[in-house]
Amino acid sequence: MKVAVVTGASRGIGEAIARALAEEGYALAIGARSVERLKKLAEELGGEVFYHHLDVSRPESVEEFANKTIERFGKVDVVVANAGLGYFGRLEELGEEEFHEMIEVNLLGMWRTIKAFLRNLKETNGVVVAVTSDVSARLLPYGGGYTATKWAARALVKTFQIENPDVRFFELRPGAVDTYFGGSKPGKPKEKGFLKPEEVAEAVKYLLRLPKDVRVEELMLRSMYQKPEY
């Protein structure tokens, strides 16, 4: 049985990916800050699901989550580094704490997560799906701090790939998605340019079904209703 790790799995894109991988027959290790939501998701999914509190902004939390995952399953085949957050506004109005939190979660959190599982991924010739954003290679006015962390995360993933050719790194770059992101709530119409989390999860399923000798280095997907900006 293949084992997949999903961070930020309590809702939104992470929850949708966890559900999709459970349908694909993966055993799951899911982590997020909301243990109650994780517990509910694990109960709904059934099967081999391990859940544990995870705050990727804290090195000790990532280390504990990784250790307990390996203790439970003995290996890891896929790591979906999905945890992320965003604060928006003009750069000069962005608070120091907000900017620092985005760096801790979006950049350092991804680095910590990948690093914690890298040795095991090398043993299984595994896969990392790094969820960044369509703004990891373009600019976004009033989102400069968030965008900066996603550009940096993109550089991080590419460098991990160069240094670890025996592991496949997929950068998944979704555009606007109908989630709780940025303080909003789900329920936004597709006609406003939003993908559904389940559509992003379908892309992950596609990537993981590819032969092991195929490496998709990045995949950007956006709603047909979102303006094509590059």
- Residue closest to 137 by CA, chosen among 151, 148, 149: 151
Give the pLDDT confidence score for residue 181 in this predicted structure: 85
Checking if the pLDDT of 50 tops 80, the result is yes
Whether 26 is a known active-site residue: answer no
Residues 10-21: pLDDT tens digits? 999 999 999 999
Q: What is the tens place of the pLDDT at every residue in 51-64?
A: 999 999 999 999 99
The residues near 119 (Cβ < 8 Å, ≥ 6 apart) are none
pTM assigned to the model: 0.96
Task: Name the catalytic one among 146, 180, 225, 230.
Answer: 146
160-219 residue pLDDT tens: 999 999 999 999 999 999 998 877 889 998 889 999 999 999 999 999 999 999 999 999
Q: Do the Cβ atoms of 200 and 175 come closer than 8 Å? A: no
Q: Which residues pair with 174 in a beta bridge?
A: 221
Q: How far apart are CA 80 and CA 205, in angstroms?
A: 12
Domains of the chain: 3-221 (3.40.50.720)
Which residue pairs from 58-64 have beta carbons closer than 8 angstroms and sit at least 24 positions apart in sequence?
A: 59/112, 62/109, 62/112, 62/113, 62/116, 63/116
| Amino acid of residue 121 | L
